[in-house]
Amino acid sequence: MNKKNSLLLLFQLIFSNNQDVEYIIYTSYDFQQHAQEISNLYTYNDCSSILDETICLESIHCDWGNDCFETEQQINSNLSLNTQILYSDSISPDNINPINPEDLSSYLFNIQNGYSDANNNFYNLKYLLIIGDETIINPLLFSGIPCDDYYSSVNQNNNIPPNPKLTTGRILINDPSSLNQINQIKNYVLNPEDGKWKSDMLLFCDDQFKSGKTIRQEKWHTIHSDVIYNSLKNNLDITCLYGPDFERQQSISWYTQPDFTDRVIETINNGVSIINYIGHGTSSLL
């Protein structure tokens, strides 16, 4: 074996495990407990040891209307994920050096690290969860606006829209001593509420008026929401709340739409599984 092939084999042996990673949790070391709790939630090794949780997960399958003949192991396999924790300021449990927020994308797309191939396609990696608000993990910016989509985009030019390849979320927390949000997530996953809310979706968008913008630019909020509606209307019960359908009231910063706000809050409190918002908001309101 020549030297080049030997080096290639060495890299494959070192980083091959990363090809199996499906879910990355990225945070500060101060939030290691939060990260581990989320990792444990989705990493199941012995189905019998999580019997209570398995029963709950089985009820989720039944509530969605699927046949309820899956075995516990099948259910466990369907909802478990291979997770990995990375830190911004400390060595990770897998002995990976600290990764600054601005370097995370380059790290993930570096083929030597084993997450992606030469075409910038991830092997099995699907999800990125960031734990910490902007004071813990600095956000990347698109035209001055925080945008976590850059973390899984090859393009890092903040004047060009990102093209994310991972489903990305962030838990906004800055108190390492509080596990309240983590416990709420665990309770939501392991003890789901029954009801039709699991097939309900809310689409809401701002109206076509924004200071400094043309109506032609702003009307796309409604147009794009309608595209989503028409794509999913045969699969979900969708409530559409569109800004142009509600009256406006003059306020200090711009306009408010109190009836619109009340309807959005009421719909969410009644229970929905998916919420999609497109709009501009104001300095203090959606």
pLDDT band at 243 (very low <50, low <70, confident <90, very high): confident
What's the average model confidence in pLDDT over 93-101?
Answer: 93
Of 75, 46, 44, 45, nearest to 58 by C-alpha is 75
Pairing between β-strand 145-146 and β-strand 83-87 as defined by DSSP bridges: unpaired
What's the average model confidence in pLDDT over 132-157?
Answer: 88
- With a pLDDT cut of 90, the percent of the chain lying above it is 45
Q: Residue 44: its pLDDT value, please? A: 58
Flag the least confident range among 125-134, 148-157, 225-234, 246-255. Answer: 246-255
Of 134, 168, 176, 194, nearest to 37 by C-alpha is 176
Q: Residue 18: its pLDDT value, please? A: 86
Mean pLDDT of the chain: 78
Domain ranges of the chain: 3-43+81-190, 196-278
**Taken in order 274, 276, 134, 265, is the CA torsion positive or negative?**
negative
What's the average model confidence in pLDDT over 249-273?
Answer: 82
Helix spans in 233-277 (H) = 258-270
Are the CB atoms for 72 and 81 separated by under 8 Å?
no
Specify which residues 238 forms β-bridges with: 201
Q: Residue 108: its pLDDT value, please? A: 95
- Which H or E run includes 53? helix 51-63
Place of tokens 């009256």: 247
Tell me the per-residue pLDDT of 193-239, one tens digit each, with 9 for 90 and over.
888 888 999 998 876 555 555 445 556 778 888 899 999 999 999 99
Q: Residue 77: its pLDDT value, please? A: 46
Tell me the per-residue pLDDT of 50-80, one tens digit each, with 9 for 90 and over.
333 333 333 333 343 444 334 344 444 446 8
Pairing between β-strand 237-242 and β-strand 200-205 as defined by DSSP bridges: parallel
Are the CB atoms for 206 and 279 separated by under 8 Å?
yes
Tell me which CATH homologous superfamily contains domain 3-43+81-190: Gingipain r; domain 1 (3.40.50.10390)
